Amino acid sequence: MEALAKMTSDELSKKISKGKYMLFFSATWCSDCSFIKPSMPEIEKEYTEYHFLAVDRDENIDLAADLSVFGIPSFIAFDDGKEVGRFVNKDRKTKKQVEEFIDGLAS
């Protein structure tokens, strides 16, 4: 998974303007983030149509605020720069819940 460098909303918009992207917001101190992280390589292999970007919420606090990400771990899906779905809250997420979220994007 590519780690997203510190950037502004405008810089992110340019980066994700073409293709499907899944932003994964987390932080090193977050125990719920640590819970889902081991499942992320499997999820990435399962959903190859998405380019996954790991976003360190602390390093990108302004970007997280601009995207209304106030709880982690959280996921936001984009298609050609347009947000198509989000799984954003402060609750622990299981592999199955993340897969159901991504599966629901196709409907």
- List, in order, residues 6 or more apart from 24 with CB less than 8 Å away: 1, 40, 52, 53, 54, 55, 73, 74, 75
Interatomic CA distance for residues 30 and 79, integer angstroms: 28
Task: Give the active site residue among 30, 64, 77, 102.
Answer: 30
Task: Give the active site residue among 4, 22, 33, 77.
Answer: 33
30 is catalytic: yes
101 Cα distance to chain centroid: 12
Helix (H) or strand (E) holding 34: helix 31-36
Q: Please identify every residue annotated as catalytic.
A: 30, 33
